[in-house]
Chains A and B, each alone.
Chain A
Amino acid sequence: TTASWDFVGLKKGKRAKRNPSIESDTIIGVMDSGINPLSDSFSDKGFGPPPKKWKGVCQGSKHFSCNNKVIGARNYTPRIKGVPHSAIDNMGHGSHTASTAAGNAVKDVSFYGLANGTARGGVPAARIAVYKVCDPCIKGCTTDGILSAFDDAIGDNVDLITISIGDDKGLPFHEDTIAIGAFHAMAKGILTVNAAGNSGPELSTVTSVAPWIFTVGASNTNRAFVTKAVLGDGKTVGRSVNSFDLKGTKYPVVYGKTASSNCDAASAAFCSPGCLDRKLVSGKIVLCDSVQNVEEAKYMGAVASIARSRRTDTALVFSFPVTALSGPAYDVVLSYINSTKNPIAAVLKSETIFNQKAPVIASYSSRGPNPIIPDILKPDITAPGTEIIAAYSPSVPPSIADTRHLKYSILSGTSMSCPHVAGVAAYIKTFHPRWSPSMIQSAIMTTAWPVNASTLMPEFASGAGHVNPLAAVHPGLVYEASKSDYIAFLCGLNYTGKNLRLISGESRTCTKAQSKSLPRNLNYPSMTAQVPATKPFKVTFRRTVTNVGTSNTTYKAKVVGSKLNVEVIPDEFSLKSKHEKKSFTVTVSGKGLGGGELVASSQLIWSDGFHFVRSPIVVYAAN
């Protein structure tokens, strides 16, 4: 966060307009692995007592003290004999996400001198309520605990929930505890922000699928970590967060494949556990065909490792000097050692560089299309999630087999992008305290930056685009959806009787009109339709916008970037007053997708000359 908030435009101090008194009354519920209450990010210096609306408690354990910053703590992890049971973070993850959303501004934070700056949350003056649902002892987060956390967070009166947790795949709503809890939260005016998942770049891997949840994908920022490997005959650049300084000393290089006496060549090349021969690797730099097993080289006495990585868009932390290279760069190193009698190399300390291409969607970030509701685009939005430095737990090493202990560490994932959007949503709420969850979601989506189309299907990677907090304060128009709209949406999906009650919690029956409603007609800020492959198609989206900008204004529709035929009716309307609503339809037609192009997209932009209300329109072929 020493770079990410600046990158998205939410500058520190007076460079971003703030509403301090309302921000101080804002409570962010963080469902995660707990928190390190001793971190400077969570000190309560300068904070008054908790907001009057707060109905929570501090039940973190006798060793966990709340303060006027961390105003509440509850723990839902099971009691395990011999393990202290408290809301203290034993993973570092919860401290990281909480401080990203709402941590104090803490100066001179760095990772051993790297990424130096002021670490801070999106809303540093806000309060934090901790709901510990994950712990290493249970290897994750139980859904019965997560549902309890929602039950309490809603009752405690939090303003917003951030939950960087998910399943391996998208689930139907009635089996999805986060969707169930978030539905009840939405009904009480609480927006739930959820990580999209880390199973990209494969399509249809997004795990957070419900439209009442704000689903966040991950991007990088303009700061990137590079770790140079200097070979005997030149140099190549790799990726990692390497704080170890070997002072440029060159060491002999050995390939894992040739450094084993008890494994086959393929296993040894991967530096698989038990394969490397200590006598052959000790004091050397070891080449490994995968970053997964580099620790094995360390165990066997290697001074450093150069490894091949499938994902060179993300720098990882290792417990000894490591640089991760792309396949072609790694092949250059292999070629060098094969052509040299006594190959040598140095692995340098990392440096940070300015990445001009940012933001780019992270390769790991889960993609749409939505595996459960094909006509709802997910993820919704993208935010920085790669190489984020934020609060950590000093009791937890920053990587496997690491002996270092840090107050701030670097993590990557949609877990990290999720609290960025939670922070932005809270920031928007400080200017518009009465806005519903859908209004906040809409404001953030329709003002997002378009993300460079570096991937084949950019909307399935980035949703509406990259979060732009300052613009989101003044969206002009919003797409609102209430609890009854979501119920109509569920009715249209044939959720009836008991199944409808399962999600909504209420005994309702669907009206005929509700049962006929199409999911794509939910008043969502993006428009998506799955159409039969190769056949001509014509789909209509019905939408209603609410004026949250100026009175007496006229909006005109513009469709850009389209290979589709898009008709907007009406394509112009006038709004006399605030909160006035206008409905329109968007009809998209085409001769059929196929021939290698299975998705087509364009953007609908409503503008009055001052506001630009942008919605992606995505049509894609079934299968």
Chain B
Amino acid sequence: AKNDQDKQVYIVYMGALPARVDYMPMSHHTSILQEATGESSIESRLVRNYKRSFNGFAAWLTESERQILANTEDVVSVFPSKTLKLQ
């Protein structure tokens, strides 16, 4: 069984960017990640932000944190990052 403390990189996909001019994707990502992890400093968790053409982020998460995020409003899907290969 996987230890719940085992973290892996998950892609937290949030779909299209909201059209609102005041929308700040990075602060939104930070706040939902803080909420899911219960940690105020998420620098070590956040891997990357998707903020220019669509919305989302990648972060180191445990399985239970993944589940919390998957049930969060605004989050479309949370799935593990994997390694693809050159062809």
Smallest beta-carbon distance A312→chain B, Å: 20
The interface-forming segment of A140-148, A353-361, A390-398, A434-442 is: A140-148
Chain A residues near B32 (CB-CB < 8 A): none
How many interface residues does B have (CB within 8 Å)? 25
A197: shortest Cβ distance to chain B, in Å? Answer: 6
Flag whether B5 is at the interface (Cβ < 8 A). Answer: no
Cβ of B47 under 8 Å from chain A:
yes
The answer on a CB contact under 8 Å between B58 and A141 is: no
| With known contacts A151-B53, A154-B52, A184-B54, A415–B15 Cβ distance under 8 A | no
On chain B, the residues within 8 Å of A178 by CB distance are: 84
Contact of A501 among B15, B79, B81, B84 (CB under 8 A): B15
Contact, CB under 8 Å: A91 / B87 = no
A residues 262-293 near B (Cβ < 8 Å) are none
A178 vs B77: C-alpha distance when bound (angstroms): 15
- With a CB–CB cut-off of 8 A, which chain B residues contact A498? 76-77
Taken residue by residue from 61 to 87, chain B's Cβ proximity to chain A (1 for < 8 Å, 0 otherwise) reads as: 000000000000000110101111111
Number of A-B contacts (CB under 8 A): 107
Interface code A184-204, partner B: CB below 8 Å = 1, 0 otherwise? 110010000001111000000
Known contacts A142-B81, A144-B11, A501-B76: A166-B87 contact under CB 8 Å: yes
Proximity bits, A283-316, B CB within 8 Å = 1, else 0: 0000000000000000000000000000000000
Is chain B's binding surface mostly helix, strand, loop or mixed?
strand
A167, B84: Cα distance in complex, Å: 5
**Which residues from chain A contact B82 at a C-beta distance below 8 Å?**
142-143, 167
Question: Which secondary structure dominates where chain A touches chain B?
Answer: helix
From known contacts A151-B53, A152-B52, infer whether A144 and B86 are also in contact, taking CB-CB under 8 Å: no
Complexed CA–CA distance, A295 and B28 (Å): 53
Please, how many angstroms separate the alpha-carbon atoms of A178 and B87 in the complex? 14
Whether A230 is near chain B, meaning CB under 8 Å from some CB there, is no
CA of A51 to CA of B85 in the docked complex: distance in angstroms?
Answer: 32
Interchain nearest-CB distance for A283 vs B (Å) = 37
The interface on chain A, measured as residues whose beta carbon lies within 8 A of the other chain's beta carbons, has a size of 50
Do residues B86 and A134 form an inter-chain contact, with CB atoms below 8 A?
yes
A140 touches B76 (CB 8 A): no
Q: Is A174 interfacial (CB 8 A cutoff)?
A: yes
Chain A residues whose C-beta falls within 8 Å of the C-beta of B83 in the assembled complex: 138-143
| Contact B84–A175 (Cβ < 8 Å) | no
A519 nearest CB across to chain B (Å) = 22
Q: Please determine whether A505 and B54 come into contact, CB atoms closer than 8 angstroms.
A: yes
Binary contact readout B9-41 vs A (1 if CB under 8 angstroms, 0 otherwise) = 101010110000000000000000000000000
CB distance from B24 to the nearest CB of A (A): 16
Q: Are B86 and A174 in contact (CB under 8 A)?
A: no
Interface centre among A166, A180, A498 (most CB of B within 10 A): A180
Nearest to B9 among chain A residues (CB) is A144
- Least distance between A310 CB and chain B CB atoms (Å): 18
Q: Do the beta carbons of A143 and B52 come within 8 Å of each other?
A: no
Q: Verify B87–A418 contact, CB threshold 8 A.
A: yes
User: Which residue of B is nearest A166, CB measured?
Assistant: B87
B76 contacts across to A, CB distance below 8 A: 498, 501-502, 505
One of B52, B58, B81, B86 near A164 (C-beta < 8 A):
B86
Given contacts A142-B9, A154-B53, A155-B53, contact A414 B48 (CB under 8 A): no
* In-complex Cβ contact of A414 among B16, B50, B77, B87 (8 A): B87
A150 to B55, CA, bound (A): 12
Residue pairs across A and B with Cβ atoms less than 8 A apart, 14 shown, are A143-B83, A144-B47, A144-B58, A145-B48, A147-B13, A148-B58, A151-B54, A152-B53, A164-B86, A188-B53, A197-B87, A413-B86, A502-B15, A506-B15
> Which B positions have Cβ atoms within 8 angstroms of A?
9, 11, 13, 15-16, 47-48, 50-56, 58, 76-77, 79, 81-87
Assuming A142-B83, A174-B79, A418-B87, what are 7 further A-B pairs, CB within 8 angstroms?
A141-B84, A141-B85, A143-B81, A151-B50, A151-B52, A413-B87, A506-B16
